[in-house]
Chain A
Amino acid sequence: MLAQTVLPREPALAPLRVSSPEIGAVKALMTEDESAVSDAPLYRPEAAGLLLLLGLVLLSPKEPKEKK
């Protein structure tokens, strides 16, 4: 017997009336949207530019200071 055939209760006994929230629930489950939030890192080219600028500033040669 297929596992799909397991049906311990008779569906014909179900009340043949559904409310609009129930219909809305079924429709919402039919059309799941993509997840709203992604936890993947996003590509931010402007951030890369800022990092490059910061690195250049830090690595650039400093003016020699006079000895006191």
Chain B
Amino acid sequence: MPFADSPQREYAAATEWAAGRALDALTGAEGAALPAADVPEPQALLAADRVLGPDVFAPALLTGRPTPPEVAARAAEAFVLFPADWSGVHAWRDRATAELLARAGHPVAAESPPLPPDPGEHGWQRWSVLMAQLCCLALPTLDSPVHQRAREHPLALARGATRAMLRRDHRTATRLVRWLAWLQSVGTPLALELRPLLRQLALTGDGTARTALDLAVAERLAAA
């Protein structure tokens, strides 16, 4: 599935493919025949693993089944091929990926990112968008200052999810609902009812595998 002149398009398509496989592993839809023509090129597949980051390990963390060694090795190779960026949002994603890689027996270099921002600094609107970008950290057994911020500000997350729903930005809404589900799973009281949100997003999703994976993770967390 090569795209000659657009790495963004090629990597986006590969990310969709990889998110679909992670979703299959999470929901137990195993053994499906995959057309060889749809399989991304090796480098695009590595880019997809790099984009998914901690979500490569989401099926294992949510189902208890171990991550296949070849999947963990591929994620480690992706981490080395696409260098870490220790600034902003990427830094927290990379730190979580590095932690999960280390657990899987593939230690990679990781530094301490700066403290995540507080909703008081730039307002809950901008903060909630930032948290949506970090939603792949909303997984069991992961903990960091980003998770601490989420625990401290459930109302800001609920406002962000509500705003995204009202804007009909289902991708952002799903990512924030994933954080709300994570908060519920760790016992933090929510300012919103989760079930109607999950049901509505399941009906009105944007049709991408990445959003479907986020929603499946949120449903698993909510059921935990």
Listed in ascending order, the chain A residues whose CB lies under 8 Å from chain B are 1-16, 18-19, 21-23, 25-35, 38-40
Contact = CB atoms under 8 A, between A and B. Distances in A.
Nearest to B69: A5
B31 interface: yes
A4 B42 CA distance: 15
A23 B68 contact: no
A30 B89 contact: yes
Interface string B1-18: 000000110011001000
A28 B8 contact: yes
Contacts of B8: 25, 28-29
- State the majority secondary structure of interface residues on B: helix
Interface of B: 7-8, 11-12, 15, 21-22, 24-25, 29-32, 34, 36, 39, 41-43, 45-47, 50-51, 53, 59, 65, 67-68, 70-71, 74, 77, 81-83, 85, 88-90, 93, 129, 132-133, 164, 166-169, 171-172
B25 to A, nearest CB: 4
A31 B164 CA distance: 16
Contacts, number: 117
B122 to A, nearest CB: 14
B219 to A, nearest CB: 18
A38 B167 contact: yes
Given A21-B7, A32-B133, A3 B25 contact: yes
Contacts of A33: 129, 133
27 contacts: A2-B25, A2-B59, A3-B21, A3-B29, A4-B21, A5-B70, A6-B34, A8-B34, A9-B45, A10-B42, A11-B77, A23-B82, A25-B11, A26-B47, A29-B12, A29-B15, A29-B47, A30-B51, A30-B89, A32-B171, A34-B164, A34-B167, A34-B169, A35-B171, A38-B166, A39-B168, A40-B168
A29 B11 CA distance: 8
B51 A14 contact: no
A11 B45 contact: yes
B43 A18 contact: yes
Contacts of B81: 14, 16, 18
A31 B47 contact: no
A7 B70 contact: yes
B169 A4 contact: no
B172 A35 contact: yes
